[in-house]
């Protein structure tokens, strides 16, 4: 598939872009509630026997994440058994049925079933695709390739926010179904991860694939040596994983990254984006504003892809969290003015839109683009599947709680206090990243493990086919 391309970096980009096509439909699904909830709550637009209630709407938004926790468990059992490619196909294939159910469903239970199944598929993809991308990418472009996930997700969000408010419910879901078919077909032709081929003993296949992706057999064999240094006795590592201090440290950092990325409030705001914009009662059309914000999210993701391997993960994450803080403060200030009954005129009409743009741009350029890539980098060898599954479960649990109860919390304590609470979380999250998260730019997986506390005890001259020697030890 890749032999016609000359540049090895271009080959890596092609493979990672193709595998991330599956994430395009994830972006469509994530933004789906924003235009659809407005339709389902409107008696003249709903396709259901009656308009849905706010409680039903909150379940439609959040049930995918509740069910999705089961999707994050699967990689621990499947990644090293059936491989990365088969896991991706397993997650992408059921979305055709999801699309049909959303299109033809005539009751709330059908929508909940479809959203739940979609959530399980999406969370499996979010767990596996970053692993695949990290193992296909060479060290110098691993960060950039890892952010393509967010670009594809943002592109899906832009498409949904752009067409959702202006098309009927049935047409919108028919288009979504077509996207599931078009994005699934190319996945059949991607190669398996070279690291998985090595783990399964297919050394010649792994070297052949790495030679294509890296441009030379010498470079491929050097990388195979790195595989040997990261590969320990699988049974021992799995049994004693939670006694390994390096693994526990990686797990603690990745879990905090996942939970923190939700407690800053981005998903809680964007899943109800059109509803939030309508509640501001400003002169800005909510349909236009939501499409513009989606385009800004895509732009931010592309910017991060271009700069992440130049400036590193920590500076980007820190600066963008400051931007999110300012945006959340601005939203809180606007709603406080509105609560006080003061008239909103002139520039104040644009304060919520400007604040939302700042929040969306900052999140998408920072933690939204880098979290999954950074989490995949924190684990090495056999620990990767287990570590990503556990941290993903905590991440999805946080998404479920924030999306399910965002509307209730806002109604109880007021939107101003809610957004200011998110701004405080942004500050705390920024402090955590500055002092607790290692910089992974330009480092091999083995070097990242050493920075986390493991020390290498195998020789660099060790043959790549020797997979039975333990090469990392806790200090």
| Sign of the Cα pseudo-torsion (308, 310, 313, 318, in order) | negative
The yes-or-no verdict on residue 468 having pLDDT over 70 is: no
Higher pLDDT, 201 or 174: 174
What mean pLDDT is predicted for residues 100-123? Answer: 89
The yes-or-no verdict on residue 347 having pLDDT over 70 is: no
- Tell me the two tokens of residue 475: 């200090």
Domain boundaries, the chain: 8-191+232-442
Give the integer Cα–Cα distance in Å for 425 and 392.
Answer: 20
**Considering only 18-27, 215-224, 271-280, which range has the smallest mean pLDDT?**
271-280
Provide the CA 23 distance to its chain's centre, in angstroms.
9
pLDDT tens readout for residues 428-443: 999 999 998 888 887 8
Buried b (16+ CB within 10 A) or exposed e, 120-143: bbbbbbbbbbbbbbbbbbbbebbb
The yes-or-no verdict on residue 268 having pLDDT over 80 is: no
- Tell me the two tokens of residue 426: 């942004």
Angle between helices 108-136 and 84-92 (to 10 degrees): 160
**Considering only 109-123, 236-250, 434-448, which range has the smallest mean pLDDT?**
236-250
In this prediction, residue 382 carries a pLDDT of 66
Average pLDDT, the chain: 81
Percent of residues, the chain, with pLDDT higher than 90: 22
- For the chain, the residue count is 475
- Tell me the two tokens of residue 138: 């060479």
Specify the 3-state DSSP secondary structure of 472.
strand
Q: How far apart are the first and last CA of the chain?
A: 44
What mean pLDDT is predicted for residues 115-135? Answer: 89
Give residue 100's pLDDT band: very low, low, confident or very high (50, 70, 90).
very high
Q: What value, to the nearest 5°, has the Cα angle with vertex 287 and ends 281 and 291?
A: 125
Give the integer Cα–Cα distance in Å for 154 and 150.
Answer: 6
Give the integer Cα–Cα distance in Å for 246 and 242.
Answer: 9
CATH code given to domain 8-191+232-442: 1.20.1250.20
Give residue 459's pLDDT band: very low, low, confident or very high (50, 70, 90).
very low
Backbone region of residue 342 per phi and psi (left: phi > 0; alpha: psi in -120 to 50; beta: other values): beta
Higher pLDDT, 318 or 311: 318
Instruction: List Cα–Cα distances, 425 to 256, 276, 428, in angstroms.
Output: 12, 20, 5
Give residue 307's pLDDT band: very low, low, confident or very high (50, 70, 90).
confident
What is the number of other CB atoms lying within 10 angstroms of the CB of residue 170?
Answer: 12
What mean pLDDT is predicted for residues 86-102? Answer: 92
The yes-or-no verdict on residue 142 having pLDDT over 90 is: no
In this prediction, residue 239 carries a pLDDT of 63
Give the integer Cα–Cα distance in Å for 363 and 47.
Answer: 34
Give the integer Cα–Cα distance in Å for 69 and 390.
Answer: 10
Higher pLDDT, 448 or 205: 205
Structural element, H or E, at residue 456: strand 454-456
The yes-or-no verdict on residue 462 having pLDDT over 60 is: no
Give residue 181's pLDDT band: very low, low, confident or very high (50, 70, 90).
very high
**Most confident region among 25-29, 64-68, 386-390 by mean pLDDT:** 25-29
Structural element, H or E, at residue 454: strand 454-456
Give residue 237's pLDDT band: very low, low, confident or very high (50, 70, 90).
low
Structural element, H or E, at residue 310: helix 286-311
In this prediction, residue 1 carries a pLDDT of 55
Buried b (16+ CB within 10 A) or exposed e, 81-112: eebbbebbbbbbeebeebbbbbbebeebeebb
In this prediction, residue 461 carries a pLDDT of 40
The yes-or-no verdict on residue 258 having pLDDT over 90 is: no
- Tell me the two tokens of residue 117: 């199944």
Give the integer Cα–Cα distance in Å for 272 and 161.
Answer: 12
Give residue 117's pLDDT band: very low, low, confident or very high (50, 70, 90).
very high
pLDDT tens readout for residues 145-179: 888 888 898 899 889 988 888 888 899 999 999 99
Asked if 79 and 131 count as a contact pair (C-beta separation under 8 A), the reply is yes
**Considering only 124-133, 217-226, 374-383, 409-418, which range has the smallest mean pLDDT?**
374-383
Q: What is the pTM for the complete model shown?
A: 0.73
- Tell me the two tokens of residue 293: 């914000």
């Amino acid at each position: 598939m890749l032999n016609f391309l000359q540049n090895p970096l271009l080959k890596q980009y092609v493979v990672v872009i193709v595998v991330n096509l599956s994430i395009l439909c994830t972006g469509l699904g994530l933004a789906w509630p924003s235009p659809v909830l407005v339709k389902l709550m409107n008696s003249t637009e709903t396709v259901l026997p009656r308009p849905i209630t706010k409680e039903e709407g909150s379940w439609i938004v959040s049930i995918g994440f509740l069910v999705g926790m089961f999707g994050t468990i699967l990689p621990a059992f499947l990644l090293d058994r059936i491989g990365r490619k088969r896991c991706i196909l397993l997650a992408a294939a059921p979305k055709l049925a999801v699309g049909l159910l959303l299109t033809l469903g005539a009751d709330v239970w059908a929508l909940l079933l479809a959203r739940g199944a979609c959530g399980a598929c999406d969370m499996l993809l979010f767990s596996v695709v970053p692993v695949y991308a990290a193992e296909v990418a060479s060290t110098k472009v691993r960060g950039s390739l890892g952010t393509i996930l967010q670009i594809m997700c943002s592109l899906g969000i832009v498409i949904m926010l752009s067409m959702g408010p202006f098309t009927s419910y049935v047409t919108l879901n028919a288009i979504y179904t077509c996207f599931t078919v078009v994005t699934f077909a190319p996945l059949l032709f991607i190669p398996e991860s070279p690291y998985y081929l090595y783990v399964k003993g297919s050394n010649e296949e792994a070297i052949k694939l790495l030679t294509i992706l890296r441009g030379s057999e010498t470079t491929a064999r050097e990388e195979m040596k790195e595989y040997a240094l990261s590969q320990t006795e699988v049974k021992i590592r799995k049994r004693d994983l939670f006694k390994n201090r390096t693994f526990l440290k990686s797990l603690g950092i990745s879990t905090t990254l996942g939970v923190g990325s939700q407690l800053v409030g981005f998903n809680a705001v964007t899943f109800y984006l059109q509803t939030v914009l309508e509640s501001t009662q400003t002169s800005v059309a909510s349909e236009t504003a939501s499409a513009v914000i989606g385009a800004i999210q895509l732009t931010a993701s592309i910017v991060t892809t271009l700069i992440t391997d130049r400036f590193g993960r920590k500076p980007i994450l820190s600066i963008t969290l400051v931007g999110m803080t300012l945006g959340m403060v601005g939203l809180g200030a606007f709603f406080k003015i509105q609560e006080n009954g003061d008239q909103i005129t002139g520039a104040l009409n644009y304060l919520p839109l400007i604040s939302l743009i700042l929040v969306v741009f900052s999140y998408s350029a920072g933690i939204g683009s880098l979290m999954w890539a950074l989490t995949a980098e924190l684990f090495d060898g056999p620990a990767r599947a287990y570590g990503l599954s556990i941290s993903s479960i905590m991440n999805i649990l946080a998404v479920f709680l924030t999306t399910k109860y965002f509307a209730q919390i806002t109604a109880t304590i007021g939107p101003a206090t809610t957004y200011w609470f998110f701004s405080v979380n942004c500050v705390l999250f920024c402090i955590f990243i500055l002092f607790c998260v290692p910089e992974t730019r330009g480092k091999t997986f083995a070097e990242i493990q050493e920075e986390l506390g493991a020390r290498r005890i195998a020789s660099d001259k060790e043959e790549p086919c020797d997979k039975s020697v333990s090469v990392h030890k806790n200090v």
